[in-house]
Amino acid sequence: MSSSNHNPEPHGRDPRLLAQAREMVIPPLVDTFAVALGRFDDALFDRAERAGNSQMAFLDAMRELRRRRDEIIRRFRSHLDKAWQSLESGDPLSVEDALSEPTTSLSLVSDQELESRLAARNLASVIMRDCKQVIVRLDRRLGWIAGNLVLDNDHNPIGAEHIGVAIHEAFATCELSLEVRLVVVKLCERDLVPGIGRIYEALDQRLVQAGVMPEMPAARAPVRTPTRAPEHEAMADEEDETSAPAWAARFTHRMAGMKGGMQASMGQGGYNEGQGTYSGGAQGVLLEALHHLLQESRGNREAPQANRPNSGSVDNRALSQREMLSVLSLLQSTPSATLRAAIGDTGESLAQRLKSEVLSGATQLGVDPSTARLAPVDEDAIDLVGMLFDVMLDERDLEGRPRELIGRLVVPFVKVALLDRRMFVQKTHPARRLLNVLAEACEGNNGESAAERTLMAKVEEVVGRLTAEFNENLAIFLTLEEEFRDFLGQHKRRIEIAERRAAEIQSGQERLETARLRMAQELSARLDGRHVPQAIDDFMRQPWAHHVTMTVLREGENGDGLRDALALADGVLEELNEAQRQIVGKPWLQTWRPSLQKVFASVGMNPDAASSAVDALHDTLQAVAASRPDLEKSLPELPQVVLPKVAEDDSLSIQLVGGTDTLDFDSTDADHFRSLAIGTWLDFIDKDNKVQAGKLSWVSPISSRLLFVNRRGVRFCVASPEELAMMVRMGRLRTHQDEDAFDSAMQGVIQRLDPEKAAAGV
C-alpha cells in the first residue's frame, strides 16, 4: 500500500485502497488461523488423555480435523471473502444475516448449533475486549474508503463478530461432539487472538500512512481496575462516583423548600439537574431530607407509641452500632422463622419485623429489650432498607425461590446502611449494584429451562457467600458483583439465542398459517358447492392439499411449484367435467399422470402404490363417463400425513385474538406501534397489576404482528399494532421506565412515605 498522498473525496469509494486493504488483512488472518489449527492436534491429544469417557470423542476429532484441514481453512476464508465483498458492494453484511440460513423449511436450529454459535460469539467478545480501540479506528477508516459508510462491530467484515462467524462456519461441517466443538473454539481464543491484534494494528498503520483519516485521534485508554469485569468497566466509564440515582431527581423537587437551609448548614455542594449528579455535600442534603421525611411519616405508618418495638422511655439506652451489627450478624447467619415468614408475607412490614427482631436479638448480648431502644439514625436505616425490600418484593415478579433469595439480602443490606448511608444516594455503590444484578437474574425466573435453573443456582451461591462471609468489609459486594456480572454476561448470550429462536418459532408458525390459508382458499374455490366422486374428493382434500401446503412453505406463493399444483387440480377437474358430459373412450388423465404420481409420492407412497392410486382415479372417471357409479374405484389406503407443526412455546403468557373491527383503540397509538423500533421495551400489566417488561424482538413481514420477549428471551406476547393500542386504552400497556431495581424501589419508598406529595410529582 503506497504511502503517497492519496486522499479520496469524503463521500467516494476508493476501490484501489479497498483492494489493498483486503490483501493486507484477509490472507494474514487466514494464515494465522491455519497456524493455530496446526496446534490443535497436540492440544486435543492432551485433552484426550484426561477426558475419561470422552476420550474417543477427542481422538476422533483429531482425525476429523486432519482429514478436513483444507476444507476448514477454505470455509474460514470463504466467510471473510463474502463479508469483504459486501463491504465493497456498499451493503455490508451483518452478523445476524450471516448466521441466518435461508429458511426453506420449518426445522429449527439444533441445540448443538446454538451452543456452537454461542461459543463463537463469546470468542468475538474476547477479541473485542483485547482489540477494541484498534477495531473502532478500523470501523471508521474502512467505512470511509468504502464510500463513507458507517461500520460497527456487526458490519465490519474483519471485526470481532465476523471473525467469530468465520470460525463457526469453518468447523460447521466437521463431525465433532458438542464438548469437543466448544473446546476447539476455546483453542482458537488461545492461539488466534494475539495474532489478530497484530494484524489489525498493521492495517490501521498502513491506512494512516495512505492518508486515510490521519487526523483521527487515537482512542483514549480507559482507566481500568484490573479485576473489573468488562461490563463493569463500561458502566464505570459512563458514571461518575457521585452520579445521582434516578429517583433523586424527582425527590429533589419535593425537598426544594427545605434545601436552602440545610445546604447552608452543610456547606457547599448541590444537585446539578442538567448533569444528573450530586456533589458530596448534596448527598448529605438528600440523606437529611430522607431522614425528615421518615420522621414526618413514621407516626402515620406505625402503631401507637405504646405498641412500637422501641417504645420504651426516651431514657432507655440506645443500642450502640457495635451491638446493632452483632445482632444483625446473628440474624444474617441464622434468620429467625418470623423474619423468614415476613419475607414471604405481602401483608407484614419488613421494617417493623426487623426492628422487633433486632431488639429481641439483643437478649443474646445480655441486653434487656425493655431497657433498650434504637438510635434514630439506626431506625432510619432499618426503615429505609425494610421499605426498599417491601417495594421490591411486592412490585417485581419475584415468586417462590427467587423471592426467598432476594429476601435473604435484607439483613446484610441493613448492615450496609448502618456502615455507609451513601448506598441510598450513590448510584455506583457496590452493594446496590450487586442487588440490581441479582434482582435482574431473579425477576420472572421460574426455573422452567436449564439456563434459568443454572442462573438461579448461581444466585443462590452468591447469596450464600454474602450471608456467610459479610462482616463489616464492603469489598465483598464488589467482588461478588464482578463475578456475577461476568457470569450474567455469559447468560445474556444464551438469552440472545433464545430470542432468535422465539422469532424463528413465530416466523415458522405464521408461514405455516399462510400456507394453510392459501391451500384452504384454493380447495374451497374448486370443491365448494360441487359434487365430485369420492376418489377425486379424497385426492383433493388429502394428498393434493398436503402437497400445496408444503409447496407454499418451501417456495412461497409465487413459485413454479404452486402454479404446477393448481394447474394439476384444474386439469383433473376439467377431465371430470368431460367425463360428466359422457365422453367415452378418452385415455383419462394421461397428460397428468406424472404430476399425479409426484403428488402421491409427496405423501409417502411408493411408485407402485402411487401408480395404483392414479389408476383408481382413471377408473373412476371412466365410470362417470359410462354413468356407472357402481364401477367407481376408491383410492388405495393413503399414508397418514400430518402437516408440520412448529415447536410450541408454552410461555406465551399474553394471548390476543386478531380482528380489529370490534377493538376500541386510538389510531395514533396503533401508528406509534407500527413504527416502533426493534429493541424497544414496554411494560405489560396483567390483571393482578404485576408488571413485566417486554422487548420488541421481531415484526412479522407477513402479518405485521409484533413479537415481545421477556428478559430471558422467551416470547410472551404476539400482538398487532391495533391490539397493543387497545391494551394502552385498557391500562395494560405503558412506556417502560429504564430504571434499575434499586432506583425503582426507592421511588416506591418515597411514594409510600408521602403518597400525596409523591402523586404531585415527586
Q: What is the pLDDT of residues 40-70, one digit of tens each?
A: 888 888 888 777 777 888 888 888 898 999 9
How many whole angstroms separate alpha carbon 256 and alpha carbon 735?
28
Domain check: are 559 and 704 in the same one?
A: no
Within-domain flag for 641: no
Same domain assignment for residues 133 and 94: yes
Distance CA(733)–CA(656), nearest Å, equals 14
Question: How do residues 80-119 score in pLDDT, each as one tens digit?
Answer: 999 999 998 888 988 877 776 544 444 455 667 767 777 7
The answer on 706 and 761 residing in a single domain is no
> How far apart are alpha carbons 121 and 406 in whole angstroms?
31
State how beta strands 277-278 and 271-272 pair.
antiparallel
pLDDT value at 375 more than 80: yes
CA dist 375 and 380 (Å) reads 9
pLDDT exceeds 80 at position 664: no
In a domain, 589, yes or no: yes
Q: Name the more confident of 345 and 242.
A: 345
Q: Are residues 58 and 90 in the same domain?
A: yes
Residue 450 domain boundaries:
302-473+740-762
Determine which of 217-226, 289-298, 583-592 has the lowest per-residue pLDDT on average: 217-226
For residues 700-719, average pLDDT: 84
Final residue of a structural domain among 188, 209, 230 = 209
Percentage, residues of the chain above pLDDT 90: 18
Compute the distance between CA of residue 410 and CA of residue 463 in angstroms, rounded to an integer. Answer: 11
Instruction: Tell whether 107 is covered by a domain.
Output: yes
SS3 for 315? coil
What the block records as the C-alpha cell of 662 is 370490534
- Using DSSP, state whether 98 is helix, strand or coil: helix
For residue 66, being part of any structural domain is answered with yes
Assess if residue 353 is contained within a domain.
yes
- φ, ψ of residue 278 in degrees (nearest 5): -120, 140
Residues 180-200: pLDDT tens digits?
888 888 888 878 888 898 999
- Would 238 be classed as within a structural domain? no
Give, in degrees to the nearest 5, the angle at Cα 456 between 455 and 462: 95
333-359: average pLDDT: 75
Do 142 and 160 fall within a single domain?
Answer: yes
Of 572, 605, 631, the domain-final residue: 631
pLDDT at 525: 92
pLDDT tens track for 679-689: 888 888 877 77
Whether this model's pTM surpasses 0.85: no
DSSP of 342-397: HHH-SSS-HHHHHHHHHHHHGGGGT--GGGEE--HHHHHHHHHHHHHHHHHHHHS-
pLDDT score of 272: 44
pLDDT of residue 306: 41
Same domain for 392 and 356, yes or no, is yes
Note whether 683 and 589 are same-domain residues.
Answer: no
For the domain that residue 675 is a member of, what is the CATH number? 2.30.30.140
Contact 453, 447 (CB under 8 A): yes
Please return the burial class of 53, using the count of CB atoms within 10 Å of its CB with bins 0-12, 13-18 and 19+.
exposed
Residue 690 has pLDDT above 80, yes or no: no
The amino acid at residue 388 is L
Segment 383-403 shows an average pLDDT of 85
pLDDT reading at 284 higher than 70: no
Q: Is 291 domain-assigned?
A: no
Amino acid at 197: G
* Burial status of residue 516 (CB atoms within 10 A of its CB: 0-12, 13-18, 19 or more): middle
pLDDT at residue 274 greater than cutoff 60: no
Mean pLDDT for all residues in the chain: 78
What DSSP state is assigned to residue 271? E
One domain for residues 115 and 183: yes
Q: 234 or 68: which carries more pLDDT confidence? A: 68
One domain, residues 568 and 699: no
Alpha helix ranges (H) inside 556-686: 560-580, 593-602, 607-625, 667-674
pLDDT of residue 307 exceeding 80: no
Which range has the worst mean pLDDT, 166-175, 239-248, 697-706? 239-248
Confidence (pLDDT) at 361: 81
Residues 564, 465 share a domain? no
| Any domain includes 72 | yes
Contact 174, 68 (CB under 8 A): yes
**Confidence band (pLDDT; 50, 70, 90) for 254?**
low
Pick the last residue of a domain from 600, 631, 662. Answer: 631
If one counts the domains in the chain, the total is 4
Verify that 555 and 663 share a domain, yes or no: no
**Residue 103 three-state SS:** coil
Higher pLDDT, 738 or 698: 698
Contacts of 375 (CB under 8 A, 6+ apart): 318, 319, 321
Q: Which residues of 239-249 are buried (b: 16+ CB within 10 A; e: fewer)?
A: eeebbbbbbbe
Mean pLDDT of 620-625: 91
Looking at the structure, tell me whether residues 671 and 689 fall in a common domain: yes
Taking 70 as the threshold, does the pLDDT of residue 736 lie above it?
yes
